[in-house]
């Protein structure tokens, strides 16, 4: 069973799948505690805010409401809603609080590709063909450590930056990580001009890539 805060179809606005049509599943629950998080409504799981999946799909505003559903129920909802995208992004909250194997395997069996967006602070339970985006969260309020196993599993590492210390944190994380087959992105926090300029400069210096949250520039979900 998965606690789902949102299900919607849009385009992926970050990382290597930028511009791809995608179905987003946003799961409820996250103890990591990022101060600049833009989905704080997904942090807490309050039993009294449970609601049917049908009501979750038609939500028009960010709320703490969630639905408890199975992988099969999610797949059926995709079909019922007429979603055409074949790439599914599982995000949160912190999606790796859940065992994502059953959901991803069912989606793969039905012609979908899957991607997980995680902080890297929980063990990743997903099939080998699932694309894993680790956005490492260092020294956050929840006190969770970024796991080396998550960095090793990542297909791409997408690090949020606002100041030089965030670049230093990434360099330290990468010391023991084989990055030859990985894509490394810097993502300016909140599209701040100073953060964007820093990210561009560091991408040039280290031959990394820039992720600019295209969906926020376009003003879409």
Annotated binding site for Mg(2+): 39
Instruction: Write out the binding residues for [4Fe-4S] cluster.
Output: 30, 34, 37
Long-range contacts of 210-214 (CB under 8 A, 24+ apart): 210/185, 210/186, 211/14, 211/15, 211/18, 211/158, 211/185, 211/186, 211/187, 212/187, 212/188, 213/13, 213/14, 213/187, 214/11, 214/13, 214/14, 214/18, 214/19
Using alpha carbons, select from 124, 98, 122, 126 the residue that is nearest to residue 113: 126
Instruction: Write out the binding residues for S-adenosyl-L-methionine.
Output: 36-38, 93, 135-137
Burial environment of residue 48 by CB neighbours within 10 A (0 to 12, 13 to 18, 19 or more)? exposed
Q: What's the CA dihedral at 180, 148, 162, 93 to 10 degrees?
A: 120
CA 179 to CA 143: how far, in whole Å? Answer: 26
Instruction: Write out the binding residues.
Output: 11-13, 26, 30, 34, 36-39, 91, 93, 135-137
3-state helix, strand and coil shares in percent for the chain, rounded to the nearest 5: 35, 25, 45
Instruction: Write out the binding residues for substrate.
Output: 11-13, 26, 91
Q: Which residues pair with 25 in a beta bridge?
A: 7, 90
Per DSSP bridges, beta strands 2-11 and 67-69 are: antiparallel
């Amino acid at each position: 069973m998965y606690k789902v805060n949102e299900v919607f179809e849009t385009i992926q606005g970050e990382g290597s799948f930028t511009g791809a049509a995608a179905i987003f599943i946003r799961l409820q629950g996250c103890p990591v505690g990022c101060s600049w998080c833009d989905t704080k409504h997904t942090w807490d799981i309050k039993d009294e805010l449970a609601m049917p999946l049908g009501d979750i799909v038609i939500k028009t505003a960010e709320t703490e409401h969630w639905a408890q559903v199975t992988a099969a129920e999610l797949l059926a909802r995709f079909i019922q809603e007429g979603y055409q995208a074949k790439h599914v992004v599982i995000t949160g909250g912190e999606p790796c609080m859940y065992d994502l194997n059953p959901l991803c395997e069912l989606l793969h069996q039905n012609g979908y590709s899957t991607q997980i967006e995680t902080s890297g602070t929980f063990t990743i339970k997903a099939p080998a063909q699932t694309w894993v985006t680790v956005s490492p969260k260092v020294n956050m309020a929840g006190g969770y450590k970024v796991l080396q196993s998550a960095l090793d599993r990542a297909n791409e590492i997408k690090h949020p930056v606002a100041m030089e210390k965030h670049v230093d944190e990434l360099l330290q994380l990468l010391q023991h990580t084989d990055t030859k087959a990985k894509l490394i992105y810097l993502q300016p926090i909140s599209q701040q001009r100073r953060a964007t300029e820093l990210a561009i400069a560091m991408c040039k210096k280290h031959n990394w890539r820039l992720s600019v949250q295209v969906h926020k520039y376009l003003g879409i979900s």
